Structures are given as C-alpha cells and as structure tokens.
Amino acid sequence: MHIVVCVKQVPDTKIIKINPKTNTLDRRSAPAILNPYDAHAVQEAVKITKAIGKGTISVLSMGPPQAEAVIKKSIEIGADRGFLISDRAFAGADTLATSYALSKALERISKDMPVDLILCGKHAIDGDTGQVGPGIARRLDIPPVTNVIEVAEVNESEKTILIKRKITNGYELIQAQIPCLLTVEKEINSIEYSPMPNMIKAARYEPVIWSVNDLEAVDRTQLGLKGSPTIVGKMFTPPKPEGGKRLEGNADEQIQQLMELLNDKKELLQPNSNK
C-alpha cells in the first residue's frame, strides 16, 4: 500500500494579526504551519498502514523552499518520505494550476512506486476553497471522496476501501475502488504524540526537491499565474451594514435597556423547539 498525502504550508490563522490601518495581514505575525487538516490526513495514513501492517507513506507539497518544514513535520507524524515541488514557474497558481502541478508530481512519484491512495485535508485554512483535492482526482481520473470522517476498512486483495463521508445530519457509507483520493475532516482522528525516533528522523530529513524540469510532459502554459483562469479583480471593504446602535450607561443600566428592548420584541424570543 503506497499512500501519498498532499500537504500545504499555511500561515497560522490563530495567531495572525491584522494591521488595522491597512486592513491587511501582518505577515511577520504569522508563523507558518502544516495545514491542520493535512496533519490529520498524514495521521490517517499512519493509521491505515499500521492497521495493514505495511506500506509506504509519501508526502507531497508545493511551495517555496521553506515549505520543507511541513514535510519534516509530516515525517514527525509518521510519513516515510517527502517531495517538494518548488519553482518560480509554479508561483501565483490558483486551484486549477495547483492541481495541475501536483498531479504532474504525483505521476512522477507513481512511476517509481504506483500510488494506491491519495489523502488531502478537507481544505487549507488560508484559502478555504477545498478545490485542489477533487481537482487532482479529476486529473488523474480516479474517484474522489470528500469530507471523510472514517476509513472503516481497506481491502487490499479486492482493491476496495470502505469510507464514511460526512453529510448534513449524518454520514454516507461509501465503497470506492483503489486507487482513489480522499479529503479528510478533522474528526477522522486525533493527532498522536510523535515518537522520539520520528522526531530524530524528521530533524535530519531532507526532502526530495523537484523543479519544473524534473517533472515530465509538463505544459508550462498550465502552470502558475499563466495557467490560472481566475484573477483577483479588486479588493474592497464590504459595505457597512445597518446597525451600530450602542446602549449607554453602566452595565446595569445597559442590561435594563436590553431587557426592555427584548420585551418589546418578545415575539422574536421564542425558545428553540426540541425537534
């Protein structure tokens, strides 16, 4: 079983600060981390190979040279090896151009070792699109299953996998043929503490770095900014909604005013029904 996990380096949105003057991101304040959903994808790959008793976990990322940090982090969680595609030709890619570049790297990886399963996080926390995973599956012509909350069974001899996919108010149980691509939700597992040997391996690990020239049969017009059909037209501050009314006075006075307002609007304050 060869599992490839696609991972992305993202700014940590929990720590990020906004410059109130310019309304933009203060990048110095944002440390780069492994996209949290991708960490769960790596963890799930570890779980699957442990359950089977064998297998290889490769991680693949695209980004600047410093993105090798997220590959090291993945090694710490339990991946065996990592590949980083890094080249100016990839820069400025939207989701379409990103899935193209990653699918070319996946083709290169699978030439040496055929890939059975591709795992991705549900989405990256910087763009929140969730479009790259299904895009890769389409390019490689394998079935995607998104929003996976459990890998229930992997049947290597039958080449099938049984998955629970989250839907509103429940889940679907899906059987998919291998190879396929899954995007995972956070609840699929909890990240375990990395064993010491993994940490040592990660500290010394040097990922394979490929430039565009290392990939085969690449149509350069489909890469980076040039290969991206979408562009940002303009940025604007959203129109201010109505509202903005403040209550005056000390805490007790404000609460009294609020209670009066709510009393006037008591038809709104119906308790939630217990259905």
Partner 1 sequence: MMDEYRGVWVFIEQNDGKIEGVSLELLGAGRKLADKLEVPLSGVLLGYEIKSLSREVITYGADQVYVIDHEVMKDYRTESYMKAVINLAEKYKPEIFLYGATSNGKDLASAVATDLSTGLTADTTMLDVEVEKRLLEASRPAFGGNIMATILCKKHRPQMATVRPKVMKAMEPNPDRHGEVIEEPITLREDDMRTKVIKIVKDVTKKVNLAEAHVVVAGGKGMGDLQNFQLIHELADTIGATVGGTRDVVEAGWLPHEQQVGQTGETITPKIYFAIGISGAIQHVVGMKNSEFIIAINKDPQAPIFDVATCGIVGDALEIVPKLIKEFKEARERGGEMSYV
Per CB under 8 A, which of residues 207..266 are in contact with partner 1? 228-238, 240-241, 243-247, 251-252, 254-255, 258-259, 261-263, 265-266
- Between CA 122 and CA 184 the distance in angstroms is 5
- Between CA 130 and CA 137 the distance in angstroms is 13
Helix (H, G, I), strand (E, B) or coil at 17: strand
The helix or strand, by DSSP H or E, that contains position 109, with its residue range, turns out to be: helix 95-112
Q: Does 114 bind partner 1 (CB under 8 A)?
A: no
Nearer to partner 1, 157 or 168 (CB): 168
Among 129, 156, 158, 195, which residue sits at the site for partner 1 (rule: CB under 8 A)? Answer: 129
- Between CA 166 and CA 172 the distance in angstroms is 7
Q: Does 95 bind partner 1 (CB under 8 A)?
A: yes
Near partner 1 by CB under 8 A, which window of 45-53, 104-112, 172-180, 200-208?
172-180
- Between CA 73 and CA 198 the distance in angstroms is 10
The number of CA neighbours under 13 Å toward the Cβ of 66 is: 6
Nearer to partner 1, 213 or 230 (CB): 230
Total residues contacting partner 1 (rule CB under 8 A)?
Answer: 89
Among 43, 74, 99, 189, which residue sits at the site for partner 1 (rule: CB under 8 A)? Answer: 99
Nearer to partner 1, 135 or 207 (CB): 135
Q: How far is the CB of 44 from partner 1 (least distance, A)?
A: 17
Side chain identity at 172, as an amino acid letter?
Answer: E
Among 51, 52, 113, 167, which residue sits at the site for partner 1 (rule: CB under 8 A)? Answer: 167
Rg (CA), the chain: 23
